Amino acid sequence: MPKQVKKLTAETRVHLVGIGGTGLSAIARVLLQRGIPVSGSDRAMNPVTEQLEKLGATVFLGHQAENITGASLLLITSAAKADNPEIVAAHEAGLSVMKRRDFLPLLLGDDKVIGIAGTHGKTTTTAMTTHILREAGLKPGYIVGSVMQNTGTNASGGGDNSPFVIEADEYDDMYLGLTPHTAVITSIEWDHPDFFITENDMVRSFTAFISQIQPGGVLIASTDTLYSRALARATRENGLTTLLYGRDRRESDWFIHNLTTTADGLTCFEVIDRATLSACVFKLKVPGAHNALNALAAALAAASCGVPLKTSAKALESFESTGRRFQVMGEVKKMIVVDDYGHHPSAIRVTLEATRQRYPDHTLWAVWQPHTFSRTLALMPDYVRCFSAADGVAVMDIYASREQPVPEVSGKIAAAQVASHHPNAHYTGDIPSTISALKKRVKGKSVVVVFSAGDATAVSAGLLADA
């Protein structure tokens, strides 16, 4: 029977297998700020592991059994294999081996948790909520799936008696380790087909997450996707306080209205309370209707902590987004280069539409690095139609991530499918070939948006190398 750790203390050393990854590095930062000893390992060092070492973590290069010496428990990435020598050694030593889902109750304890979930928008909404609370004078703890440009980090332990804002990731059912006071559902669309084999599997998972909201808590849910709207209605019928938001004033308790883009690129809109018809004006630096909806969700989440809507609107005027969420990387020879994490068809579509609004007089190119074979194959009917706002599309090789190749799909096959619906779509292959192809094809006043949850940020760097 593994040794159970019931509470984290200064005598509890947590060893993280995969400490350099986005999810575990954020937890490591929170632990260190709360005085919990941390060690960890990864296949390669990176700027994140260097920062953790400066905060006091012991980080090992590579996975070896002796790395866990002195550890009280192991926290492992979902990508870790059962034969990892550190995991094997932990089992032999009788230590608990946990994934994030199992560990979150230990980490968060009695914190008032705001859990922000959804297929799209959860990173930005988590960051926006955190920013609002900080600007309102609170000291929230937070875990965001990307680095906040306003704080320079993706996580904080927070202050005593302050809320904890966490990006509630549906993959591997991570968010089922949360019992939030406030839960936000930004959207629900089928994704992660390697984990959610069917859409029903995904809906059951989100239903389970909603069921874990604490008594007296609140659900804030978008009406803009079918599943989130249906689950929210069912939750309201069951008696939980439920706030609906979106673009449709007939379906939503709170809705956005009069969305415009100013000459200097700000996204302006009104947030309207359907019950009173009172309005509040918001101005964002980040583009698009999808970010207006993210802002509304964040404002409602902050309101659950007593922050007035007008305070949220003022706070979000200084919000700078997060890494790889429409992150403008630079400009060279009249070409603006943007990195974006979008890898689902809906995310790509709305980001391109927002880019077109922000830069109406620029030629718009989309660079798509498909992410995982299973997602590319399962969602291909939607991918072929999501690039209509772009003038040109460059399709790269598939970023395999945790998967092995499958013969039914490849970057070349995906490009041919997109080209059947878009007159200027091309297969460009690997990173060097894509950089070369874009330098030949993209001319004059233009914007290139690189869509990648993998390593295609190197394309952006290559395009800007002439700057």
Which phi and psi angles does 27 have, rounded to 5°? -65, -40
Mapped onto helix, strand or coil, the DSSP state of residue 153 is coil
Please tell me the pTM assigned to this model: 0.94
> 3 falls in which pLDDT band (50, 70, 90)?
confident
Per-residue pLDDT for 466 more than 80? no
The whole-number pLDDT of residue 402 equals: 84
The whole-number pLDDT of residue 257 equals: 96
Q: Angle 22-33/100-108 helices, nearest 10 degrees?
A: 20
Answer whether 178's CB lies under 8 Å from 164's CB.
Answer: no
The Cα 298–Cα 286 span in angstroms is 14
Compute the average pLDDT of residues 105-128: 96
Cα 13 versus chain centre, distance:
28
The Cα 348–Cα 328 span in angstroms is 16
Compute the average pLDDT of residues 185-190: 97
Compute the average pLDDT of residues 25-38: 97
Per-residue pLDDT for 467 more than 80? no
CA end-to-end span of the chain: 59
Compute the average pLDDT of residues 342-371: 97
The whole-number pLDDT of residue 33 equals: 96
Which tokens sit at 405? 């190749």
Q: Render pLDDT for 141-160 as a digit per residue (tens, 0 to 9).
A: 999 999 999 999 999 999 98
Residues 6+ apart with CB under 8 A from 97: 2, 73, 74, 76, 87, 90, 91
Per-residue pLDDT for 102 more than 60? yes
The Cα 67–Cα 297 span in angstroms is 42
Q: Render pLDDT for 380-389 as a digit per residue (tens, 0 to 9).
A: 999 999 999 9
Strand order in the sheet with 14-17: 58-61, 38-42, 14-17, 73-76, 96-98
The Cα 92–Cα 74 span in angstroms is 12
Query: Cα torsion at 459, 460, 461, 463 (round to 10°)?
Result: 80
The Cα 429–Cα 411 span in angstroms is 7
What element of type H or E holds 393?
A: strand 392-396
Compute the average pLDDT of residues 79-96: 95
Please count the other Cβ atoms lying within 10 Å of the Cβ belonging to residue 212. Answer: 15
Domains detected in the chain? 14-100 (3.40.50.720), 110-316 (3.40.1190.10), 327-466 (3.90.190.20)
Burial class, 4, CB count within 10 angstroms (exposed 0-12 / middle 13-18 / buried 19+) = exposed
The Cα 265–Cα 449 span in angstroms is 17
Per-residue pLDDT for 1 more than 80? no
Which phi and psi angles does 424 have, rounded to 5°? -130, 50
Give the chain's radius of gyration (CA, Å): 22
Task: Please state, rounded to an integer, the average pLDDT across all residues of the chain.
Answer: 96
Answer whether 270's CB lies under 8 Å from 289's CB.
Answer: no
**Side-chain half-sphere CA neighbours of 408 within 13 A:** 8
Query: Cα torsion at 166, 167, 170, 173 (round to 10°)?
Result: -30
Please count the other Cβ atoms lying within 10 Å of the Cβ belonging to residue 200. Answer: 10
The Cα 408–Cα 356 span in angstroms is 33
The Cα 307–Cα 309 span in angstroms is 7
Which tokens sit at 147? 């680095």
The whole-number pLDDT of residue 167 equals: 98
Compute the average pLDDT of residues 42-67: 96
Residues 6+ apart with CB under 8 A from 463: 332, 335, 337, 435, 438, 439, 448
The Cα 296–Cα 222 span in angstroms is 10
Q: Render pLDDT for 307-322 as a digit per residue (tens, 0 to 9).
A: 999 999 999 999 998 9
Q: Render pLDDT for 412-446 as a digit per residue (tens, 0 to 9).
A: 999 999 999 999 999 999 999 999 999 999 999 99
Which phi and psi angles does 406 have, rounded to 5°? -125, 145
β strands within 187-316, DSSP E: 218-222, 241-246, 254-261, 267-273, 279-284
